[in-house]
Structure 1
């Protein structure tokens, strides 16, 4: 699948279509891909140990991710039969047209993907809250857990989302200061019915 065109404020990545979404929409596959993107290349055994899974399961699901173009061999690493894997793309983009797909398999994959993504975000946030005292206090003072309620149309929500992504992506090329750490930023924006 060709890469989506590079747009301002959005790094190049893999845009999901119905086929690739069905290949990715599995809890372990999403965790494997996330681990490779965050921590770099690894073997199935290393990933199994890191994620608390069997190496047979990680090996199988890595091959499935490769079939759908999410991961690939890293030939610069390993020796003999040792097989190293790396992410094939910097990021994954969810194509909004997937919401309108009438195929029940695609609709099920959308649901699995989004629920798993929400679970991953919740786990990451809970880990931060549970370990923030292990970090220097400057991190806790500058981290953010905010929520806002706005009245917007779908078009205005899209505009807000584009601006937020552009701002966040503008930091991807910033030279880190001393004491920098990997920072996760989660964005959730969705409509709510009035109570």
Structure 2
């Protein structure tokens, strides 16, 4: 499972490492709703201060400061010394995306399984919010963007191995667009791509 945002922060001259793979300790450090949202904001929109993030997310600066420090302790965020002035502390994401080891979701440790469940449910909630925001604002975009977006679902009959193969192929296809070059006059935007693939029981 991969929860991937941007390959590098907007306007950053130093690309972030593409992905951080979570082990049990890192998962427990990240598995908090506000920490997941803070990390996503830094990945999507670039470096920010705790106060700026508090205003963006509707939280207190005390809460964002505390959870940013916790994210830093686990290696998810770091100082951005190029932007800090005086006592003003700027933060940036240390990686462009997050993936979870398969064994964390089936761990015999209930604390690890609980952290995995919280992380996955929070990611699903964020996806739902992003999709709702798009549907509510799509008329504000030019027609080309509106018609290029997609909201589709498919029902297939597959084995577990075929589902994994499909998911891995889809990931490789999306990842092939990370480093597409653009000219200055091209109309580009940050695009979010969600992939949900799961079995269901039929009657």
Report if TM-score (shorter chain) is over 0.5: yes
Q: State the partner residue of 2:196.
A: 188
What is the aligned counterpart of 1:70 among 65, 72, 76?
A: 76
RMSD, aligned α-carbons: 1.1
Q: State the partner residue of 1:111.
A: 117
User: For 1:139 and 1:74, how far apart are their aligned partners in 2?
Assistant: 33
Runs (4+) off by over 6 Å: none
User: For 1:188 and 1:70, how far apart are their aligned partners in 2?
Assistant: 24
Map residues 131-142 of structure 1 onto 2, 5 A cutoff.
131-142=137-148
Q: State the partner residue of 1:162.
A: 168
Structure 1: give runs of 5+ residues left out of the alignment.
1-10
What CA deviation, in whole Å up to 9, does each residue of 1:111-141 have, x standing for no partner? 1101100000000000000000000111111
Equivalent residues of 2:105, 2:117 under 8 A apart? no
CA deviation after TM superposition for structure 1 residue 12, in Å: 3.2
Structure 2: give runs of 5+ residues left out of the alignment.
1-16
CA deviation after TM superposition for structure 1 residue 155, in Å: 1.1
CA deviation after TM superposition for structure 1 residue 142, in Å: 1.0
CA deviation after TM superposition for structure 1 residue 176, in Å: 3.3
User: For 1:14 and 1:174, how far apart are their aligned partners in 2?
Assistant: 22
Q: State the partner residue of 2:100.
A: 94
User: For 1:176 and 1:131, how far apart are their aligned partners in 2?
Assistant: 25
User: For 2:135 and 2:18, how far apart are their aligned partners in 1?
Assistant: 31
Total equivalences in the alignment = 185
Q: Normalising to structure 2: TM-score of the pair?
A: 0.89
Q: Normalising to structure 1: TM-score of the pair?
A: 0.92
Q: State the partner residue of 2:3.
A: none
